[in-house]
Amino acid sequence: MSFSKITQVFHRTIFPIHFITPRVQRLRSPRSDLFQLSFSRTYYSPNPAYLELYEENERLKRERAEMLDGYNKFKALQKERQQPPWESSPKKQRITTQGTATLFAGKSIPIGKGHFDRIVNGGCTFIDKTSLIAEFIESNSDVSLVVRPRRFGKTTNLTMLKEFFSIPIYPDNENYRRELFRDTKITERSCLLDSHFCKYPVIFLSLKGFDHCDTWLEMRALLCAKLASLYKEHGYINDILDDCEKLRFSKIRSGDFESAVTIQSLEDLSQYLRTYHRRRCIVLVDEYDHPMEIAYRYQYYEEARGFFSSLFGALLKDNDKNLEKAFLVGVSRIAKSGYLSGLNNLNVFPMYVGKYATQFGFTEDEISILLQHCDKKERLNEVKEWYDGYRAGNGICLYNPWSINQFIDTNTLDAHWVDTGGTATIKKLLWYSTKDFKKKTLTLLKKGAIDVEILKDIDYNTLSPRASDVIWTILYYGGYLTMNEDKNLCIPNMEVFTEWKGWLNNRISSNPDTMLEMLLQCNLTKFEEELPTMLMESLSYLDTTDRDSESNYHFLMIGILSPVRYHNYELLSNREAGEGRFDVRIVPITENVVYPISIIMEFKVYKKNEKIIDNNEYGDEDEDKTERWLRKKSEGALAQIVEKKYRTGIKTTKLVECGIAFRGKRACVSSRVLRKEGDQWVEDS
């Protein structure tokens, strides 16, 4: 309503004083003296112009109240998230360099601290990985996906990117952020620092924590809670939204909203942030593949994939107006077949490519400088044996950061990484796989390498125990295998080998380590008793179409014996020696062994159509006949070791020989201990 119109109304109408707002009181008119009349002396006229003015006045009061409420909420959020003043303080770490590595040496190792700011502010020791920032900014990829094994520093790097790029809610926080990065490699790039430091709105979403969501409704509810938390983090943008947008914003922030709102929530947030900050967003997603793995495990994969495909498709595809760049990290490569299948602007960077090769995991230089700082440099060779072996692009060797930190903290060489979870899907598939898969597994357990194809993408719809290529791919991306210089796959180190052995041990009732020690200590009587018992309790998991297949028993025995390869013994199988091919032979590869002894084994397996009843040769009762057959075959296997001259090349002076016969879940062992006297082997009494 115009000023002249309001003046006309004042000339014609007498208003009660309790209707007058400060805005109206500031007006000057010939009848203004009437405004001071008491209510009893006023005259009310239902003039349409008066009603229009009254309604406008009420609307302005409501808007003012809403704006004040929004402002108060923003200030409360600001106070909760960032308590001023942000006083920058010098770093507590001391800088050390060696080769390409830069170490910020602090008072402790960051155990249980995955966020970059907590590590720096806590005075912890950390390796400078800030060159990742420049590599990400200068990348031509709009959407980058980095695939690395568990506990390889993905979360720490992602939170580092957030601290660097995100615009502070409280202005003085920029000085605090700058202190986080003081003296790091990225500060040497002054031009890049000026252009990108604290310059972008950032959407940071962690998709961890869905492990116990055994239904789609539970997963969706948890996702809604994560989105609500994300909206609360950016609650300051509420005052620039229109009424409809405020309603949607409020619904999402409450954590209770319908699917249609959820699917658009990330795209809408990117639009709101771009409007507020006048800059496009950077999107960071941690563990992008975790929900899909859980959905597959609990059999609601299709529902989850469809939903996440719509959610992230809206955010990352055809959203150039609001999206600057995106960086996603995870363990599995399910992008093209999973919920990112529609993204044409996505580039995937697994471990075997050069880009980002040194940004995740510790390099040789970084390990050397870290161990030196922690006074453990003399244990470098042991650390290499236990935790080295991952081969990245350009031939770079990497160590698992989690394992190294745990070793330094506990001063114990142990399988730290294998207890961190994430193997349920692998265990579900591994031991019900094909005969060819088990054959290749035997090669791995004997410290060999296998030639298999690593798929460029994993489709959970095709995942089954028969899909060996998919299982090998999952094992590679999960960190249970690595590529050697010939591009073949092998077990990277002692720590991971322990996990492989553990998978087998979980299916074996007796302790394989104890059974191996029985052989090395020449306690053959005990071994002959324990092996049949173990077979009876444990062999069912090896069943295949031909359950008595020799490869199954071979697989079992290699699993029991394989730990010797990490104790200076060589484990060989199906190799030529003398006049034939032995089944298993173990020999020391150095004089520095606890038990200077060799072991030769020969197996005999019941064939499906083989007759064991001829002229009552094996007795009258079926049970007795089977036992006699097993005993005769085991003795024959023991004799074959001598007949075929399998002892050829044995250099130790002590030797254990075992002939083992198998039928179904039953076994019989014939064994002996020999010592060398001159050129002759003599049975030890």
Q: What are the tens digits of pLDDT across the range 390-413? A: 999 888 999 999 999 999 999 999
* Residues 406-428, mean pLDDT to the nearest whole number: 77
Cα 669 to Cα 229, 485, 583, distances in angstroms:
63, 41, 15
> pTM here?
0.71
Res. 76: pLDDT tops 70: no
Least confident of 272-281, 427-436, 527-536, 597-606: 427-436
The C-alpha atoms of residue 113 and residue 202 are separated, in whole angstroms, by 21
The C-alpha atoms of residue 543 and residue 46 are separated, in whole angstroms, by 93
The C-alpha atoms of residue 503 and residue 431 are separated, in whole angstroms, by 9
The C-alpha atoms of residue 137 and residue 195 are separated, in whole angstroms, by 11
> pLDDT value at position 513?
62
**Band of residue 29 on the pLDDT scale cut at 50, 70, 90:** very low
Cα 267 to Cα 220, 278, 326, 388, 476, distances in angstroms:
18, 16, 13, 42, 34
> pLDDT value at position 19?
44
**Band of residue 335 on the pLDDT scale cut at 50, 70, 90:** low
**Band of residue 33 on the pLDDT scale cut at 50, 70, 90:** very low
Res. 145: pLDDT tops 80: yes
> pLDDT value at position 419?
56
Res. 115: pLDDT tops 90: yes
Which residue has better confidence, 79 or 386?
386
> pLDDT value at position 673?
95
Q: Which of 102-111, 243-252, 321-330 reaches the highest mean pLDDT?
A: 321-330
The C-alpha atoms of residue 33 and residue 11 are separated, in whole angstroms, by 11
The C-alpha atoms of residue 239 and residue 113 are separated, in whole angstroms, by 35
User: Which two structure tokens, joined as six digits, stand for 513?
Assistant: 């380590």
Q: Which percentage of the chain shows pLDDT scores above 70?
A: 78
Classify residue 51 by burial, with Cβ atoms within 10 Å: 0-12, 13-18, 19+: exposed
> pLDDT value at position 431?
56
> pLDDT value at position 78?
52
pLDDT in tens, 543-567: 434 544 677 788 788 888 887 877 7
* Residues 185-195, mean pLDDT to the nearest whole number: 94
pLDDT in tens, 483-499: 998 999 999 999 998 88
**Band of residue 574 on the pLDDT scale cut at 50, 70, 90:** confident
**Band of residue 169 on the pLDDT scale cut at 50, 70, 90:** confident
User: Which two structure tokens, joined as six digits, stand for 579?
Assistant: 């006049």
Res. 445: pLDDT tops 50: yes
- Mean pLDDT, all residues of the chain: 82
Q: Which percentage of the chain shows pLDDT scores above 90?
A: 48
> pLDDT value at position 35?
41
Least confident of 23-37, 387-401, 498-512: 23-37
Q: Other CB atoms closer than 10 Å to residue 54's CB: what's the count? A: 13
> pLDDT value at position 503?
73
Least confident of 386-400, 509-523, 536-550, 660-674: 536-550
> pLDDT value at position 654?
94
Least confident of 115-129, 485-499, 584-598, 608-622: 608-622
Least confident of 61-65, 359-363, 401-405, 589-593: 61-65
pLDDT in tens, 625-643: 888 889 999 999 999 999 9
8 A C-beta contact, residue 253 and residue 235 = yes
Give me the domains of the chain, ranges plus CATH numbers: 3-81 (no CATH), 130-349 (3.40.50), 364-419 (no CATH), 426-505 (no CATH), 512-683 (no CATH)
The C-alpha atoms of residue 672 and residue 659 are separated, in whole angstroms, by 9
The C-alpha atoms of residue 298 and residue 292 are separated, in whole angstroms, by 10
Query: For 570-591, b where at least 16 C-beta lie within 10 A, e where not — what string?
Result: ebebeeebeeeebbbbbbbeee
The C-alpha atoms of residue 166 and residue 161 are separated, in whole angstroms, by 8
Angle formed by the axes of helices 380-387 and 494-505, to 10°? Answer: 40
Q: Which of 140-149, 243-252, 445-454 reaches the highest mean pLDDT?
A: 140-149
DSSP state of 468: H
Q: Which residue has the tokens 């999402």?
A: 252
* Residues 203-224, mean pLDDT to the nearest whole number: 93
